Structure 1
Amino acid sequence: MPPQASQSQVKSNILRFLRSFLGIVRILQIVLGAGLWVTIAANKYEGSIHFVLFVAVLFWLLTLTLFFLTLLDRQDLVPLLGGERWLCTNLAHDVAAAALYLPAIGVMIYKTERNSYCNLDLYKHPCLYKVYLTAAVFACLGCLAYLLAVVYGACRKCRGEQTVI
């Protein structure tokens, strides 16, 4: 096969994935996950916020990996999880992410409520209320993006399809 035909096929696959529903959702997951962990990591945090940061960074890295493997059509390189199992692998990833994002949302809402007293105009001390509120919004939107991917992957799996796009 001439190199030009191969390059045009790769470019076509990349564009097809980026325009697909899952490609768009993966980009949203990456952006929202990065927003969550950067918001938390850029400020002072303690206690249960470590769990939120762990979930955000772990699934940001895993989603980034799934995104690039699918984008470059290299899922066959993943032993045991790639090839024909790639749709199930993506579905399991999205279910796990959504399941762990839910308690992370709970932690962020709890921390936001605990710091709501410093939302007053007259309060002059440093306060993390706005940081926690922003992180809670990122966590909720990120969880929603993973739930959308779960529904999409489950529908494809129920129809008997083997590919993610």
Structure 2
Amino acid sequence: MPPQRPQAQVRGNMLKFLKSFLGIIRILQIAFGAGLWVTIAANKYEGPIHFVLFVAVLFWLLTLALFFLTLLEKQDLVPLLGGERWLSTNLAHDVAAAVLYLPAIGIMIFKTDRHSFCNLEQYTHYCLYKVYLTATVFACLSCLAYVLSLVYGAYRKCRAKKFEQ
């Protein structure tokens, strides 16, 4: 069998990452985060919803960056955060995302509950109940994806320390 060309090897590494647990969970984080901020941004919003939109867009962009850096195996090029610290960087990102998504979920639940009165068929005015409910579901799914990634990253970090000893 002839040796693999570097391009074929890179493509194989990309496919391997995309099929891995971390690759799949990052894709889900990107999809759920995009669903959240698009749902909110496409409709009228005010007050604390700005915080939810901030969290959704911030972590969507950061997750996108982490995803592509890992996919292209360019994490060594990131100053201070790459190389040997890449696992810790991913772990810190997931902790921050999970922690900030919790109040975002609380805000979305509160806003959904405040608009539950207009969920009646007889209500004829514009109602944001379904929008807020959809955004709440996306926020919960996003938080769950970050928590799963956090648990997986913590497990990998603990395993790495175990093998160092």
Q: Distance in 2 between matches of 1:8 and 1:91?
A: 30
Count of aligned residue pairs for this structure pair: 158
Correspondence for 2:90: 90
Cα deviation for residue 9 of structure 1 reads 1.4
1:148-159 equivalences under 5 Å are 148-159=148-159
CA distance in 2, matches of 1:124, 1:29: 35
| Structure 1 match to 2:78 | 78
Aligned residue in 1 for 2:140: 140
Superposed, which structure 2 residues align to 1:8-157 within 5 Å? Answer: 8-157=8-157
Letter in 1 for 2:70: T
C-alpha deviations, 1:32-62, integer Å up to 9, x for none?
0000000000000000000000000000000
| 1:85-113 per-position Cα deviation (integer Å, ceiling 9, x unaligned) | 00000000000000000000000000000
Provide the alpha-carbon RMSD of the alignment. Answer: 0.8
SS at match of 1:81: coil
Shift of residue 5 of structure 1?
Answer: 1.3
Distance 1:106 1:17 in 2: 33
Shift of the alpha carbon at 1:155?
0.2
SS at match of 2:121: coil
Q: Distance in 2 between matches of 1:44 and 1:64?
A: 26
Name the SS for the 2:98 alignment partner: helix
TM-score of the aligned structures, taking structure 1 as reference length: 0.94
**Which structure 1 residue ranges, 4+ long, deviate > 4 Å from structure 2?**
none
Q: Distance in 2 between matches of 1:25 and 1:56?
A: 16
SS in 1 for 2:160: coil
In 1, Cα distance between the equivalents of 2:159 and 2:117?
Answer: 51
**Distance (Å, rounded) in 1 between the aligned partners of 2:160 and 2:71:** 22
CA distance in 1, matches of 2:139, 2:78: 29
